[in-house]
Structures are given as C-alpha cells and as structure tokens.
Amino acid sequence: MSYQASCHCGAVTVEVDADPPSEAVSCNCSHCRRKGFLLSFVPRDKVRVTGEDALGEYRFNKHAIAHRFCKTCGVQPFAEGPGPDGPGAMINLRCVPEMDLDALKIIPFDGASR
C-alpha cells in the first residue's frame, strides 16, 4: 500500500511506497514548532517526488536536513537527510489529505535541545 502527500497548489506530490503510519513525531525545534509539522520517517528510496523543479530548499542549524518546500505556495510536504539506516525522508503528514490526524499516536521529540 502507499500514500501521497502534496503541497497546497499541487505542483509537488510525494508518493510514499509504505503503509500509512499510525504514529507521528511532533518535534519542538524552532522550525517544526513554528510550522506545526507531524512527521513520519521513511527510507528515501521509498519516496518518489514529482514537481522537483517547483521545490525550494531550506537548511538551518547543522544543515543536515533539506527542508523541501513548494516555491509557489510555500507548503513543505517533506524533508530529506541522513537517517539511522541510511538516507531518509520526513513526510509532513499534515500534507496527506486522507490522513486522519486525530487517530495518530503523537510522539514528542525534543529537537530544541539538540
């Protein structure tokens, strides 16, 4: 099974070759807190992005994570960077229209202290 995230205007779509998650990470770092992300981590090779030409990139702190956002509408459907088992993608579950956000188990992550 797979699921799809997208930006608001539809210029960028992210197809994830994995089952929809039942958990999401809520990070309190300065970036995630301001944007209200609910994140799911998947191996980068399980993700197919369309609309790459519409994407901008923002990096901060250690510059390890590429926060990818649509240059037209500004929405960030995903980020990518190193993971514990190789390259990973962080899917913003708020960008998955079919996702029942209230059903997710929310796991806090203290990114502010890192």
Average of per-residue pLDDT across 62-81: 95
Give me the domain span that covers residue 14: 3-113
As a whole number, the mean pLDDT across the chain is: 95
What CATH number did the domain enclosing 63 receive? Answer: 2.170.150.70
- What pLDDT does 74 receive? 97
Q: How many domains does the chain have?
A: 1
What percent of the chain shows pLDDT beyond 70? 100
What is the rounded distance in angstroms from the CA atom of residue 43 to the CA atom of residue 56? Answer: 21
pTM for this model (two decimals): 0.94
Encode pLDDT of 18-57 as tens digits: 999 999 999 999 999 999 999 999 999 999 999 999 999 9
Q: For position 104, what pLDDT does the model report?
A: 98
